[in-house]
């Protein structure tokens, strides 16, 4: 029998003009497949049930750990959010299972977009393999694995006060799906017009700083913020961040030399203030979920 090798990478997802737009402005509104929309909407209603519980129930079910990086976190009079980082062993709650399903589907979608970007930039698709190890599905683990920083976040912004300051996410790519307006993206200036904030147009993919750096700035970082709204807002955010276990040969990405992923990501995160933490100091350059 003739042997067929498996396809080396997933099939293209976006049109070349969409990839060009994403790389140029750092963000892009995307149409999601129907099955993912249904999956997100189930997660959104389970998230609403979760947020309707008492603080004690929320803190007990998902204790915060690693600062803002895992579990339930509440910023008084602003927003509350639940961060999934791993699958708790033995968990069978509907919310956990739905989060796991959304993680897998969105991670694969972002991986396909990463491959589309690679095609546009002449980066071999397998250059991403070590950076995505164990990240395309939620890993089961008793404790948070510091080498796997990807997160799925469910936000509930309070009416009139829920915000996130201007920032670029840290990771590779982020998908934000909100139930109403509030997310704004920065449109870079062109010859004809100055830069401006515009409302995100539905589900939005954002380029994170790690991808910007790996692409030697050929992909711009997606600058965004969340502004308050009368009715408040809920959103689901998945941030695909690099696995921090291996060195990266930068030649494969069109650069020079090599760097350990942990060092690269550490440098990127060290320069920023977390826009999802309680405010303690003046923000210079913010970073959010991704
Ligand atoms: O709620 C959103 O849609 C975006 C939140 C955000 O930018 C972040 O957490 O980094
Ligand atoms: Fe963000």
Instruction: Specify the pLDDT at position 286.
Output: 67
Tell me the ligand closest to 154's alpha carbon: 1
Of all protein residues, whose CA lies closest to atom 4 belonging to ligand 1? 176
Find out whether 265 and 170 touch, Cβ atoms under 8 Å. yes
pLDDT over 90 percentage in the chain: 81
* CA 3–ligand 1 middle distance (angstroms): 46
- Across the chain, which distance is largest between two alpha carbons, in Å? 66
What is the atom index within ligand 1 of the atom nearest the CA of 155? Answer: 1
pLDDT over 70 percentage in the chain: 94
Instruction: Specify the pLDDT at position 282.
Output: 43
Instruction: Concatenate the DSSP letters of all residues of 184-226 into one string.
Output: EEEE---SSS--EEEE--SSEEEE-HHHHHHTTTSSPP--EEE
pLDDT tens by residue, 34-85: 999 999 999 999 999 999 999 999 999 999 988 888 999 999 999 999 999 9
Instruction: Specify the pLDDT at position 200.
Output: 96
SS3 140: strand
* CA 150–ligand 1 middle distance (angstroms): 14
Pocket probe mutation, ligand 1, options 183, 208, 241, max atoms within 8 Å of Cβ? 183
pLDDT tens by residue, 142-163: 899 999 999 999 999 999 988 8
Q: Who has greater pLDDT, 172 or 7?
A: 172
* CA 6–ligand 1 middle distance (angstroms): 36
Q: Who has greater pLDDT, 8 or 34?
A: 34
* CA 289–ligand 2 middle distance (angstroms): 5
Report the 10 Å Cβ neighbour count for 118.
20
Tell me the ligand closest to 180's alpha carbon: 1
Instruction: Specify the pLDDT at position 281.
Output: 45
Query: pLDDT-based confidence at 280, cuts 50/70/90?
Result: low
| Mean pLDDT of the residues in the chain | 92
Find out whether 15 and 117 touch, Cβ atoms under 8 Å. no
Tell me the ligand closest to 226's alpha carbon: 1
Query: pLDDT-based confidence at 92, cuts 50/70/90?
Result: confident
ipTM of the complex: 0.99
Query: Whole-angstrom Cα distance, residue 43 to residue 104?
Result: 13
What is the atom index within ligand 1 of the atom nearest the CA of 288? Answer: 10
Position 237 pLDDT exceeds 50: yes
The domain ranges of the chain are 16-275
* CA 233–ligand 1 middle distance (angstroms): 11
Q: Could you tell me the CATH superfamily of domain 16-275?
A: B-lactam Antibiotic, Isopenicillin N Synthase; Chain (2.60.120.330)
Sign of CA dihedral 49, 54, 55, 58: negative
């Amino acid at each position: 029998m003739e042997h067929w090798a498996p396809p080396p990478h997933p099939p293209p997802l976006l049109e070349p003009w969409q990839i060009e737009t994403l790389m140029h402005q750092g963000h892009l509104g995307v149409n999601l497949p129907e099955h993912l929309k249904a999956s997100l909407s189930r997660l959104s209603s389970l998230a609403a049930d979760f947020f309707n519980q008492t603080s004690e129930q929320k803190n007990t079910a998902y204790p915060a750990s690693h600062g803002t990086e895992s579990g339930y976190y509440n910023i008084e009079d602003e927003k509350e959010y639940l961060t999934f980082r791993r699958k708790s062993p033995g968990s069978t709650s509907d919310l956990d299972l739905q989060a796991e399903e959304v993680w897998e589907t969105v991670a694969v979608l972002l991986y396909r977009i990463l491959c589309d970007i690679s095609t546009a930039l002449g980066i071999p698709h397998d250059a991403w393999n070590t950076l995505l190890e164990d990240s395309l599905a939620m890993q089961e683990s008793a404790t948070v694995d510091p080498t796997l920083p990807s997160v799925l976040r469910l936000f509930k912004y309070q009416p009139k006060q829920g915000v996130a300051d201007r920032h670029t996410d840290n990771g590779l790519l982020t998908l934000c799906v909100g139930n109403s307006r509030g997310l704004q993206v920065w449109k870079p200036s062109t010859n004809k017009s100055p830069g401006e904030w515009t409302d995100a147009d539905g589900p939005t993919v954002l380029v994170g700083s790690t991808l910007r750096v790996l692409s030697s700035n050929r992909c711009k970082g997606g600058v965004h913020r969340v502004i308050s709204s009368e009715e408040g807002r809920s959103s689901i955010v998945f941030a695909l961040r690099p696995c921090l276990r291996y060195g990266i040969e930068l030649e494969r990405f069109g650069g020079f030399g090599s760097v350990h992923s942990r060092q690269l990501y550490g440098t990127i995160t060290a320069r920023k203030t977390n826009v999802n933490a309680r405010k303690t100091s003046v923000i210079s350059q913010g970073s959010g979920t991704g």
